Amino acid sequence: MFRTPPPPVNNLILTFPSSHILVVTINRPQAMNCLNSQTHDEMSRVWRWYDDEPSLRCAVVTGNPQGKRKTFCAGQERAEWNDVQSSGTNPHVAHPEGGFGGLSRRSGKKPVVAAVDGLALGGGMEMLVNMDMVVASASSMLGLPEVKRGVAAFAGVLPRLTMSVGLQRASELALTGRMLSASEAREWGLVNRVVGDGDGEVLTAAVAVAKEIAGNSPDSVIVSRAGVRSAWEGRSVEEATRRVRDGMGMELETGENIKEGLRAFVEKREPKWVDSKL
């Protein structure tokens, strides 16, 4: 049972393959799963609810693959973007807290795994570069085609991409607009695992990763994620470590899960975690 019900959605499908895992499916296959303003807002509300719901420990985001071509997300809905640009009142499509889809600049508390089956372009690429892990099907293609459309990627991907793959590789993607195959993206460190192209194969693999994460102490996952992500904020190793250790790290060390984990190790049994209070 959830402490609060999930927010209402129209352009997403929310499923729960286990009691601790949320799967968010972008359900706009007729538009190559491009996001319009309504979908941005729906996703942002879902991520806030996910972080606040104690029973949920890991999330997976994917795209409905049933359109003309399999697509994770092909970016911003072009018709809406064109209307905004043509209006002359505001040149930018407004993104919610957390950036594109509530994900491209999200800090959040809990991990999100991307299940990419098909194209991840523009905003789709912006989202996955900031996700905690990425599983992709072998035929998937990733890229930033903005320069071919006279626009630029403003939702956070450019500095994050540079930190992830280095200046020259980031420049190659951002300045040429070319696409990466899933295998090449894995070589670059943008994809963790590449799986086959069978129906549902990538989602099954991503949910398996989520279950592996959810099987660990939820307190430890939250604190470890914060420690890893502290490097993205430009702090020194000492400052970043101290910030996490003296913050939520103290809550971890006085919580129930650390006691259970150590006790289970001594007693040679599997731990029984409680929902995190962090």
Looking at the fold, whether 167 and 202 belong to one and the same domain comes out as yes
Return the DSSP state at 35: B
Looking at the fold, whether 185 and 243 belong to one and the same domain comes out as no
Structure tokens at 125: 């690429």
3-state secondary structure of 72: strand
Residue 4 inside a domain? The answer is: no
Condensed to tens digits (0 to 9), the pLDDT of residues 22-76 reads 999 999 999 999 999 999 999 999 999 999 999 999 999 999 988 778 999 999 8
- Position 83 scores a pLDDT of 52
Residue 181 inside a domain? The answer is: yes
Closest to 106 in 3D by CA, of 160, 65, 153, 182: 160
Looking at the fold, whether 158 and 258 belong to one and the same domain comes out as no
| Top-confidence range, 183-187, 236-240, 268-272 | 183-187
| Domain encompassing residue 191 | 12-214
Looking at the fold, whether 29 and 108 belong to one and the same domain comes out as yes
Structure tokens at 212: 């592996």
Looking at the fold, whether 227 and 124 belong to one and the same domain comes out as no
3-state secondary structure of 76: strand
Give percent of the chain above pLDDT 90.
70
Mean per-residue pLDDT, 170-191: 96
| Least confident window among 114-118, 150-154, 214-218, 220-224 | 150-154
- Phi/psi of residue 195, each to 5°? -120, 180
Looking at the fold, whether 157 and 204 belong to one and the same domain comes out as yes
Domains in the chain, number: 2
Residue 35 inside a domain? The answer is: yes
Looking at the fold, whether 238 and 169 belong to one and the same domain comes out as no
- Position 54 scores a pLDDT of 95
Looking at the fold, whether 225 and 246 belong to one and the same domain comes out as yes
Give percent of the chain above pLDDT 70.
94
Looking at the fold, whether 120 and 190 belong to one and the same domain comes out as yes
- Of residues 209 and 150, the one with the higher pLDDT is 209
Closest to 197 in 3D by CA, of 120, 137, 114: 137
- Of residues 156 and 212, the one with the higher pLDDT is 212
Structure tokens at 105: 């600049």
Number of separate helices (H) and strands (E) present in the chain: 11, 10
> Which CATH number characterizes residue 40's domain?
3.90.226.10
Structure tokens at 81: 């973007």
- Answer for the pair 180, 142: CB distance below 8 angstroms, yes or no: yes
Residue 76 inside a domain? The answer is: yes
- Which amino acid belongs to residue 88? G
- Position 93 scores a pLDDT of 63
Half-sphere exposure in the Cβ direction for 256 (13 Å, CA): 8
- Position 263 scores a pLDDT of 92
Helix axes 218-229, 256-266, angle to 10 degrees: 110
Looking at the fold, whether 140 and 34 belong to one and the same domain comes out as yes
Condensed to tens digits (0 to 9), the pLDDT of residues 80-126 reads 655 555 555 555 566 778 999 999 999 999 999 999 999 999 999 99
Mean per-residue pLDDT, 200-225: 97
Looking at the fold, whether 99 and 167 belong to one and the same domain comes out as yes
Residue 274 inside a domain? The answer is: no
Query: What is the spatial distance between Cα 110 and Cα 50, in angstroms, rounded to a whole number?
Result: 8
- Residue 28 host element (H or E): none
pLDDT averaged over every residue in the chain? 90
Looking at the fold, whether 209 and 247 belong to one and the same domain comes out as no
Residue 277 inside a domain? The answer is: no
